[in-house]
Structures are given as structure tokens and as C-alpha cells.
Chain A
Amino acid sequence: GAGVSQSPSNKVTEKGKDVELRCDPISGHTALYWYRQSLGQGLEFLIYFQGNSAPDKSGLPSDRFSAERTGGSVSTLTIQRTQQEDSAVYLCASSLEARQPQHFGDGTRLSIL
């Protein structure tokens, strides 16, 4: 079946612009995660959605970052007034329930010029 889909796969934008990244999780998965990965590094947790509960936003690095998950399915991660240090691969993952194996998309590679 379909896996986790992320779009766009690549995004190049100028410093100061806003960007929106999209994640389509696996149908029926209640948990959805966003991570950031810099080149050759591990994953940095950003935000976690579980069902109808309030999201865990503890990993968002600044108030320029926000995310929402509409209808318990598609999620968008928005970065406002982008900075060069925001350049990274943004990965989305979903799982059937909390603490279960996560299924990852291939990420969005974001480059801020």
C-alpha cells in the first residue's frame, strides 16, 4: 500500500520567505511526527500529533515554526521568515499508534539561499 508521502521533495527559497511542507501519512495512522535532519546528522524531533490530543510542540526551535494536522490526516509544517540555518531535510513519519514503529517519508530537502 501507499507509504508516507512528502512534498515537495526539494525546495529552494530565499532567506526571509515563508515555506510550507506537506506530509500525507499512511491512512489510519493516528500518530504523526516531524523531524529535522542536518547533513550527516541524526534526527531532531520537532513536533508530534496523536489523534485528537493537543500536539507535543516541545521540539520546535522557534516561534517561526508551526505545524497543523487537519482532519487527523494530512499535516503541514510552516516555517516563517526562513533563515539559512533552517536548511536541512525535514522528515515526516507516521505510526499506527504511539510508541509503535514509525514509517518515514523520504523528506523535503530545504535550502535557504
Chain B
Amino acid sequence: SQQGEEDPQALSIQEGENATMNCSYKTSINNLQWYRQNSGRGLVHLILIRSNEREKHSGRLRVTLDTSKKSSSLLITASRAADTASYFCATDAGGQNFVFGPGTRLSVLP
């Protein structure tokens, strides 16, 4: 698997439910970032979590990081139809550029 790989590949939920996406990586990191991409647009940064942090919140978003398992999760609570997008994690693999995973395609049904 590649550095920064999300699962599931696709997720479909009803509006109001919570959505959880996971990201696994292989090598040590300085930080991990989550991005969202709406169809036909560029990526939008959501949250950055540093390697010495375990959890961060931003509005309805909650990100956790477990460096011992080399994994992160993104939780979106009380999902809305507008949350429909692809979600990517990005890891720096100790370097200065970033490696993006293949993404999770989230569909929130009204």
C-alpha cells in the first residue's frame, strides 16, 4: 500500500449520521493533513494534526492520530448533503512534499 491510504474507498450514509474515514501510512511523519475535494474543484484543507498530537477538533470534524499504529481517522458528525465530497489524507513522510492517498468518496443522502 502507498504512504497515506484511506479506507473505505466509498461511503454512503444518510443525512444526520456520522461518517468515519480512516487513513494508514507507512513511514514516520511530522504532520498529517485532511483535505476535501468537491467534484471538479481543487482540494480544500480541513485539519492539520502534528505527530505529537492525538486529537483535534474543528466544528463538526474530529481527527485522531495514532502514531504507534500509523493511522488517523476523520469523523464528520451530523453529516449534511453538502458534506458529499472526496476526502484525502496527506502525509509528509518526514520530507517537505506530501503524499496523498487515493481518497474516500463520501455520499450523504438527503
Give the docked Cα–Cα distance between A41 and B40 (Å).
12
Residues of B within 8 Å of A45, CB to CB, are 97-100
The 8 Å CB contact of A42, one of B30, B45, B100, is B100
The 8 Å CB contact of A107, one of B35, B42, B88, B90, is B42
Size bin of chain B's contact surface: 20 to 34
Interface centre among B30, B35, B96, B99 (most CB of A within 10 A): B96
What's the minimum C-beta distance from A53 to chain B, rounded to whole angstroms?
9
Residues of B within 8 Å of A56, CB to CB, are 96-97
Residues of A within 8 Å of B100, CB to CB, are 35, 42-43, 45
Contacting pair A105 B42 (CB below 8 A): yes
A50 close to B (CB within 8 Å): yes
A-B pairs with CB below 8 Å: how many?
56
Give the docked Cα–Cα distance between A48 and B31 (Å).
18
What's the minimum C-beta distance from B103 to chain A, rounded to whole angstroms?
5
Contacting pair B102 A41 (CB below 8 A): yes
B33 close to A (CB within 8 Å): yes
Residues of B within 8 Å of A99, CB to CB, are 30-31, 92, 96, 98
Residues of A within 8 Å of B102, CB to CB, are 41-42
Binary contact track A58-80/B, C-beta < 8 Å → 1, others 0? 01000000000000000000000
- Give the number of residues in A that approach B within 8 Å (Cβ atoms): 25
**Smallest CB gap from A98: residue in B:** B96
Contacting pair B48 A101 (CB below 8 A): yes
Binary contact track B10-46/A, C-beta < 8 Å → 1, others 0? 0000000000000000000011010100001111110
Binary contact track A22-60/B, C-beta < 8 Å → 1, others 0? 000000000101010000111101001010000010010
| 3 nearest CB pairs, A to B | A104-B42, A42-B102, A101-B45
- Taking Cβ atoms with an 8 Å cutoff, the residues of A that contact B are 4, 31, 33, 35, 40-43, 45, 48, 50, 56, 59, 91, 93, 98-107
Q: List 7 A-B contacts (CB under 8 A).
A: A42-B102, A43-B43, A45-B100, A93-B43, A99-B98, A100-B48, A102-B45
